[in-house]
Amino acid sequence: MHPREDMDDEDGRGSGGSGGWVERREGPSVKLIVAGVIVLLLVVFLLQNAETTKIRFLFLDGTYPLWSLLIVGAALGFAAGWLVAAARGRRRLERRAKDEG
Is residue 85 included in any domain, yes or no?
Answer: yes
Supply angle C-alpha 76, 81, 85, rounded to 5: 150
- Number of residues written out for the chain: 101
Please indicate, yes or no, if residue 7 is contained in any of the structural domains. no
In-domain check, residue 65 = yes
Q: What is the value of pTM for the model shown?
A: 0.49
Cα torsion for 7, 10, 15, 21, to the nearest 10°?
70
Residue 62 lies in a domain: yes
Query: What pLDDT band is residue 18 in, cutting at 50, 70 and 90?
Result: low
Give the integer Cα–Cα distance in Å for 85 and 78. 11
**Structural domain containing residue 67:** 49-100
Within a domain: 86: yes
User: Under DSSP, is residue 64 helix (H, G, I), strand (E, B) or coil?
Assistant: strand
Number of domains in the chain: 1
CB 44 within 8 A of CB 70: no
Q: List, for residues 25-66, the tens digit of each pLDDT value.
A: 687 888 889 989 988 998 898 888 889 989 888 887 889 888
Phi, psi of 28, rounded to the nearest 5 degrees: -70, 150
